[in-house]
Amino acid sequence: MKRILAIAALLGVSALPAFGCNDILGFDERTFDPCVQYCDTIQQTCTQEHAQYQDQETCLGTCALFEAGDPESPTGNTIACRMEAVKRAQTSQALSLECPAAGPGGFNGNSEQVCGDRCGTYCDLMSTVCAGKSDVASLDTETCLSLCSGFTDNPAYDPSVGEIKDHDNSVQCRLWHLSVATGLPDPHCAHADGTTKCDGVFTSTTSASTSTGM
């Protein structure tokens, strides 16, 4: 504050009403964006085999489709709930457990629901992101949820391994490509619906994941 007053004195006391503190110090007025905080944090914390998004742009595009939620009560399919999960990942370093909960699926590494329902998220995002780009996007909610319930669950989905990232027949694989589709619907909507990726077809037997039924 003393520094601000000193600067104001140099400008003249009449400058204070005309310039806010941010203007004097060279800062812009900006509205706090929870998606920026969330994506900065998860991209720094959940990396390599624990990554939930391909890059910052993909994260921001996906986050924009979630409800903000209440930081004081961080529950449900919200940014606030996912932010709380990534904070736990930071403090506990339980990345295998918490990073999946912080990602779009919202289930932790033990396949326990934490932030919303992964199939609900998948179907909501498909209908929004891939409208006109995938037959799955045009399904009614009940049919889509039934379809999704048949996908395998692989909480250890590892996007750092190319064949698993692209061919794991799991809801996690589909959500990975669906998040990329927020910025690049072609070809990732077809990847996310299992037409061209996430098909369980591996060229190497060592790449096959240990998925379990949902």
Helix (H) or strand (E) holding 153: strand 152-153
* Burial class, 85, CB count within 10 angstroms (exposed 0-12 / middle 13-18 / buried 19+): buried
**Under a CB-based contact definition with an 8 Å cutoff, are residues 183 and 61 in contact?**
yes
Residue showing tokens 């812009």: 28
Query: Would you list the domain boundaries of the chain?
Result: 34-193
Per-residue pLDDT of the chain (214 residues; tens, 9 = 90+): 433 333 333 334 343 343 333 333 333 444 569 999 999 999 999 999 999 999 999 999 999 999 999 999 999 999 999 999 999 999 988 999 999 999 999 999 999 999 989 999 999 999 999 999 999 999 999 999 999 999 999 988 999 887 888 889 999 999 999 999 999 999 999 999 999 989 888 776 544 444 444 5
**Under a CB-based contact definition with an 8 Å cutoff, are residues 101 and 68 in contact?**
no
Return d(Cα 65, Cα 169) in angstroms, integer.
24
